[in-house]
Structure formats: structure tokens, C-alpha cells
Amino acid sequence: MIGLDVLVSTVVGSIGGMAGKWLDNKIEKDRMAHEKEMAKVGLEEKKLEIDNAEKLALIEANKEEELAAYQSFSVAQQSLVKKSSSFVETARALTRIIVTAYLVVLSSWIAFDISVLIGGFGGVDVNVLTDIYKEVIMNLLNLTAVAVGFWFGSRPNALKR
């Protein structure tokens, strides 16, 4: 019986050892499969990080290129303004004077011709003359407001200089 006990214990021990080894191998295989999946996930994350870093680098490069282009454009515009500002300002000032004088002369000539055509102010009723004077005064005030806005609104201010 001792032989049988030894045989049974050897068989049971062997089966238990094989079962334990099989279970350990299964656990190790599952752990390795899990680590393999985690490595794949980590690799995908690294790829995404690299892609995002490349995209960010492209955005930064484009931003720097656009900033450089804007700065060069701004410098070019400032150099153009500085080169032509005295000529342009002189031409603008003369144009204002010429246009203003032309409009005053033309308006006066038209008013004189109309006055001659209707026979002067003596040939017009007083109520009509009052309406005409009101209209002339309103138009002169409007013209003055437009002229002041044109003269002072188009001049460079301290911030633009």
C-alpha cells in the first residue's frame, strides 16, 4: 500500500504540478496579451502625439511666416507713406482749395444768372423770398458742416503720424 500511496501521491502531485504550471502559463499568456494590447495603445498614442506635434509645428511655422509677412508689409507701407506723404499732402491741400474756390465761383455765377432771369429780388413776393432765404441759410449751414468735416476729418491725426 505504501507503493500505491507513493504512486497516487506522485500522480496527484504531477497532475497538480501540471495544473499549476498550465494555470501559470495561462495567466502569463493573458498578461502578455494584455501588455501587447497596452503596447499597441501606447504606440497609437505616440503616433497621435507625433502627428499633433507635427501639426502644431506647422501651425507655428505658418504663424511665424504670416507674422513676418505682415511685418514686412507694414514696413513697406510705412516707407511708401513716408516717401510720398509730403507730395500727397501738398496735392491734397491744393485740391481742397481749388475745389472749394470752384464751387464758390460756380454757385455764385448760377445764383447771379437766376437773379438776372427773374428780374432781381424786386420781382419776387416777400413770402417766397423768406422761404428762399430759409432754404439758403439751411443749405449754407449744411455746406459748412460738410466742409468742416471734410477739412478736419481727412487730415492725419497725431496717432497716424
Which of 43-57, 65-79, 89-103, 140-154 holds the top average pLDDT?
Answer: 43-57
pLDDT at 71: 84
Check residue 155 and give its pLDDT: 58
Contacts of residue 96, Cβ cutoff 8 Å, sequence gap at least 6: 150, 151
Asked if residue 121 lies in contact with residue 129, where contact means CB atoms within 8 angstroms, the answer is yes
Residue ranges covered by each domain of the chain? 2-124
**Which run of H or of E encompasses 25?**
helix 2-118
